[in-house]
Structures are given as structure tokens and as C-alpha cells.
Amino acid sequence: MNSNKSARLKTMSARVRELPGSLPGHGIFIRRRGWGTHRAPKNEAELEDYFVARNFEIIDPSQMSVDEIVARSRNAEVLIGV
């Protein structure tokens, strides 16, 4: 890591901390279905049901902006994804 990368990470971290967060201590499951590299688990729908039953929020990156994803996941206690 050079000084430029370190400075960029510090800048990004500061920007993220300025965004309002959502619920503190909640869980997030990041949906993978139908986008990006095809690494979605075959039982992803079952996994979503499992996590929803345990009050996890499901995040769909194909339907949300980066700012929305950061705001919803910022204060999460647990974040799960492929």
C-alpha cells in the first residue's frame, strides 16, 4: 500500500462516516441473483428466507445505489455475502 492508496482509503472512510446509517446492530444479506459473476449459491432463495426469518435485511445491489447500500449496511453487526 503506497501513500496515495492510504490517502484514498482515508478519504473514502471519512465520506462513509458522513452518510446517515440505518439500524445499529442489524444483519445484512447481500443478494447475488442474476448479476455479476455467476457465483450465486444454488439455494440462494432458501438462504434469503433463512436470514429474513432472523430479521436480516436483504440488499440487492442491482436495485440500489452505492450510497443506499452504504447507508443500510454501515451500522450492521453482521454482513453476509458470497
- Cell numbers at 65, concatenated: 445505489
pTM over 0.75? The answer is no
Q: Which residue has the higher pLDDT, 37 or 74?
A: 74
Q: How many CA atoms lie within 13 A of 29 on its CB side?
A: 20
pLDDT score of 67 more than 70: yes
Angle at 31 between CA 39 and CA 19, to 5 degrees: 125
Q: What's the mean pLDDT in 21-27?
A: 69
Q: Is 30 helix (H, G, I), strand (E, B) or coil?
A: strand
pLDDT score of 39 more than 80: no
Q: Which residues make Cβ contacts (< 8 Å) with residue 34, sequence separation at least 6? A: 40, 62
pLDDT of residue 49: 93
